[in-house]
Structure 1
Amino acid sequence: MKSRVAYFGVFTALALIFSYVETLIPVNLGIPGVKLGLANLIIVVALYKMRLSEAYLLSVVRVLLAGFIFGNYFSIIYSLAGGLLSLTVMALLKKWGGFSLQGISIAGGVFHNIGQLIVAAVVVETFSVTYYFPVLLVAGLLTGLVIGIVAEMMLKRLVNIQF
Structure 2
Amino acid sequence: MNNKKTAYLGLFAAVAIIFGYVESLFPFFAGVPGIKLGLANLAVLFILETYTWKEAAVVSAVRIVVIGFLFGNMFTIIYSLAGAALSLFVMTLMKKSSGFSILGISVAGGVSHNIGQLMVAALIVENTSLLYYAPVLLISGMITGLLIGILTKEVTKRIHL
Give the TM interval when normalised to the shorter protein. over 0.9
Find the counterpart in structure 2 of residue 67 from structure 1.
Answer: 68
**Partners in 1 of 2:93 and 2:35 — Cα distance?**
25
The more displaced of 11-20 and 47-56 is: 47-56
Among all aligned residue pairs of Structure 1 and Structure 2, give the percentage whose two residues are the same amino acid. Answer: 54
**Partners in 1 of 2:43 and 2:96 — Cα distance?**
19
Find the counterpart in structure 1 of residue 10 from structure 2.
Answer: 9
Find the counterpart in structure 2 of residue 46 from structure 1.
Answer: 47
Find the counterpart in structure 2 of residue 130 from structure 1.
Answer: 131
Please identify runs of 4+ aligned residues in structure 1 that moved more than 2 A.
none
**Partners in 2 of 1:28 and 1:127 — Cα distance?**
22
The one-letter code sitting in structure 2 at the alignment partner of 1:13 is A
Is 2:106–2:145's contact at 8 Å kept on the other side of the alignment?
yes
**Partners in 2 of 1:86 and 1:26 — Cα distance?**
23
Offset at residue 19 of structure 1 (A): 0.3
The answer to whether residue 26 in structure 2 is matched with residue 20 in structure 1 is no
What are the superposed Cα offsets for residues 11-44 of structure 1, whole Å, 9 maximum, x if unpaired? 1100000000000123222221101100011111
The one-letter code sitting in structure 2 at the alignment partner of 1:138 is I
The one-letter code sitting in structure 2 at the alignment partner of 1:126 is N
The one-letter code sitting in structure 1 at the alignment partner of 2:32 is I
Matches within 5 A, 1:1-163: 1-159=2-160, 161=161
Alignment RMSD (CA, Å) = 0.8
Is 2:53–2:88's contact at 8 Å kept on the other side of the alignment?
no
- The number of equivalent residue pairs is 160
**Partners in 1 of 2:65 and 2:27 — Cα distance?**
23
The one-letter code sitting in structure 1 at the alignment partner of 2:148 is I
The one-letter code sitting in structure 2 at the alignment partner of 1:46 is I
**Partners in 2 of 1:108 and 1:73 — Cα distance?**
23
Offset at residue 51 of structure 1 (A): 2.4
**Partners in 1 of 2:89 and 2:98 — Cα distance?**
14
Q: TM-score, normalised by structure 2?
A: 0.97
SS where residue 100 of structure 2 aligns?
coil
